[in-house]
């Protein structure tokens, strides 16, 4: 690797010809030969970045079981999934909950769940925070599968530790059924993208 001799640069400046063989980015200046020598084989250098990771395990109940969700009566069912084969189902005012390792809430970019209530009732939903606190609100599922945006339950600071969703009872003559599927709490986790390639 060798830089263009000074006399060469002078010659190019004198001639005013845009054939300079150096390339600059910020404070870095390299010859094109140096760039080619340094360029990773995959075309992308190691860079620090983030990926969105769902904090919820078994978010769509596709294991066919509830674990690691805990509940006082919700069950896994195949009668009417929003996606995949399974969903969770409640009959009455009972809860389903999942706790996870504490995560800085400022890394959480979205909290979205899919719900359905044939009677179009209500659902009390909470996010848990350290040490033993919660942020809850009332949400209104529809008679068809629809996404509920729970971003209003995100606090500006603190460590998020879990989510809890309630079914309902009363309010109509039909069964007090609540369906839940596709629980997404996306957190941006720093990663080293060393293995990615532009190929």
**Whole-number minimum distance, CB 58 to Ca ion, in Å?**
9
Q: How far is the CB of 46 from Ca ion (least distance, A)?
A: 36
Number of residues that bind Ca ion (CB under 5 A): 6
Residue nearest to Ca ion (CB): 60
Residue choice 93, 115, 181, 183 for contact with Ca ion (CB under 5 A):
181
Rounded CA-CA distance 152/173 in Å is: 31
Phi, psi torsion values for 9, nearest 5 degrees: -65, -45
Closest CB 60 distance from Ca ion, rounded Å = 3
Question: What track of x and - describes contact with Ca ion for positions 64 through 83 (by CB under 5 A)?
Answer: -----------------x-x
Q: How far apart are CA 152 and CA 172, in angstroms?
A: 28
CB proximity list for 71: less than 8 A, separation 6 or greater:
90, 94, 95, 96, 97
Min CB(113)–Ca ion separation in Å: 11
| Closest CB 182 distance from Ca ion, rounded Å | 6
Site string for Ca ion, 25-64 (x = CB under 5 A): -----------------------------------x----
CB 49 within 8 A of CB 191: yes
x-marked contacts with Ca ion along 81-120 as a string, rule CB under 5 A: x-xx-x----------------------------------
Is the separation of the CB atoms in 177 and 117 below 8 Å?
yes
CB 153 within 8 A of CB 110: no
State the minimum distance, in angstroms, from the CB of residue 61 to Ca ion: 5
Cα(66)–Cα(83) distance, integer angstroms: 16
- Asked whether position 179 contacts Ca ion by CB under 5 A, the answer is no
Question: 60, 160, 186, 178: which is closest to 123 by C-alpha?
Answer: 178
Identity of the residue, 81 or 141, whose beta carbon is nearer to Ca ion in the bound complex: 81
| Cα(125)–Cα(98) distance, integer angstroms | 12
* Footprint on this chain of Ca ion (rule: CB under 5 A): 60, 81, 83-84, 86, 181
């Amino acid at each position: 690797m060798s830089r263009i001799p000074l006399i060469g640069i002078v010659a190019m400046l004198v001639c005013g010809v845009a054939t300079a063989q150096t390339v600059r980015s910020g404070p870095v200046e390299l010859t094109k030969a140096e760039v080619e020598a340094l360029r990773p084989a995959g075309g992308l250098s190691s860079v620090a970045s983030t990926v969105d990771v769902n904090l919820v395990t078994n978010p769509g109940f596709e294991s066919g079981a509830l674990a690691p969700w805990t509940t006082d009566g919700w069950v896994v069912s195949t009668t009417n999934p929003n996606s995949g084969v399974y969903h969770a189902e409640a009959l009455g005012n009972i809860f389903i909950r999942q706790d996870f390792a504490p995560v800085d809430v400022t890394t959480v970019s979205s909290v979205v769940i899919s719900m359905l209530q044939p009677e179009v009732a209500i659902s009390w939903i909470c996010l848990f925070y350290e040490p033993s606190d919660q942020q809850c609100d009332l949400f209104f599922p529809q008679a068809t599968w629809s996404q509920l945006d729970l971003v209003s339950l995100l606090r500006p600071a603190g460590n998020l530790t879990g989510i809890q969703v309630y079914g309902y009872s009363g309010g109509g003559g039909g069964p007090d059924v609540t369906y839940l599927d596709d629980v997404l709490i996306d957190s941006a986790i720093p990663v080293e993208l060393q293995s990615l390639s532009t190929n």
